[in-house]
Structure 1
Amino acid sequence: MADLLYAPPVSRGSEVLFNIGLLINVHPVVNGISGAVSIVIATTGTVTVTRDWQRRLAHAAEDPGKVLRDRITRINDAFAEAASLMEDLRRDLEAQQAARETLVAQAEEQQRLLEVNEEQAEKIRQILVGETKATIRAERRQQWMFFTLGVLVSIPIGVAINLLVP
């Protein structure tokens, strides 16, 4: 059967001809499928051509002035919508710029406060260190004063005890 489905080409000059006679009588199922495919292709082509033809007829039947007015109306509507969108975009851009300016101002204020806080922290540190140094000096002077008073008081007391006690 494979021999029946394939017909070797026969060359005649520059043409290649197939022995189609063998394919026609091959099998009734193949002929039926081939016929169904042909009908589907022909129907699809006919429907496509018919739709295109109907669309062209409908378009030709319209008044050219009305078509032009409709197009102009659609163009005007499109421009109006574009203008509206441009206005919305402009407002959004202005709002974003205002928000950006607010954020920049807040950032600058925070930076200034940070610098002030750093300066104040340095001053407080210097005051605390200065007070700590002053406190240490005062305590040292006080300790030396008690030591000196202890030495000055203990000597006369020791002499007095030695004189009074025989």
Structure 2
Amino acid sequence: MKAFFFPVFALHLLVLPAAFAADPWEPGGTLDTCIEAVNKERTGIVTGWQQSGGGEAPPYVISVLNADGTHAEAFCDPAKPANFQFNKKSGLSRFSMYQRATFPEVKARATAPEIFTAPVRISSMELSVGVSGKPTYKYQMFLPSNHKATVEIDAVTGRLNKGHVN
């Protein structure tokens, strides 16, 4: 009986990373392509992104905070990441407060799903600054059971602040 379970367990370990590696939010995926293209057009800090469709190369809505404190959003299709039309969002934010986020968002994005045992699908990220002045990455994701989950990562240290299933 042990001879049967070991190959099944070994196959399970190989299949999970292979299934997760093809996700568009993985480093070097279509999300990074869109973020780089948006940053070329409008420099600033990416304060959020949200998947705006499905498929292997889903489009994204990306929010950027400029040095003057204004927010702008752009729609990005990874198949043709150019010709952005930025929409200004109302309100002002202190750019210096968001500059405190020294932990790279790419690393936080890779860390967020690790608290779950099965592969998850990340649908959005929001960078926010709390009342205490501490920046936090907040990721919304879907579990294989179609439950929503939220994970908050400290944007300075990279530590897990909170994780829960909605």
TM-score where L is the length of structure 1: 0.22
Larger RCO (CA under 8 A, 6+ residues apart): 2
Structure having the higher Rg: 1
Higher helix share: 1
Higher strand share: 2
